[in-house]
Structure 1
Amino acid sequence: MMKKTLFQLHWLFGITAGLVLAVMGITGALYSFQEELLRAFNADVLTVEVRAEGVLPPAELVRRVEAAQGDTVSMLWVDVR
């Protein structure tokens, strides 16, 4: 009886730990490929056309976006390539 109970507890803890480690592995892989995934899924959002009037400084760009959207900008992605 005791052997069966211990085996079931061992099995339960093993399955639980395996699931936790699998989730950690998947989310870690997603996080490490964040830039590539953003480019793949949001290519139209991350690229803009160059205008004749030139490039805005980041502070002015953030100010204009916040004024137009009525919300706070939480991230500004600048590609230096």
Structure 2
Amino acid sequence: MTNKPKGVLYIGVTGGIDDRIERHKAGKGSKFTKKYNLDKVVYIEEFQYVNDAIAREKQLKRWHRQWKINLIEQDNPKWDDLRPS
């Protein structure tokens, strides 16, 4: 999640993306997303197993900021909100 192109980035794991996004947008998600008004989903990866998702989250959190930006821009160069409808 982010608040604008190349803005603050938040990485998280959830078992229910629609509900999680709604909570973040309503200011009831994490303190971090509320503090920085993060309301746009700009990158999503899906996993069958939660352990794989958690491992990927930890990996991405260790990445340099520019690597994360490059990853987002590979599939979403305009930083469109990818919120599932």
TM-score class, shorter-chain normalisation, is: under 0.3
TM-score, normalization by structure 2: 0.24
- 1 or 2 for the larger relative contact order (CA 8 Å, sep ≥6)? 2
Structure whose CA Rg is larger: 1
- TM-score, scaled to structure 1: 0.25
Higher-helix-fraction structure = 1
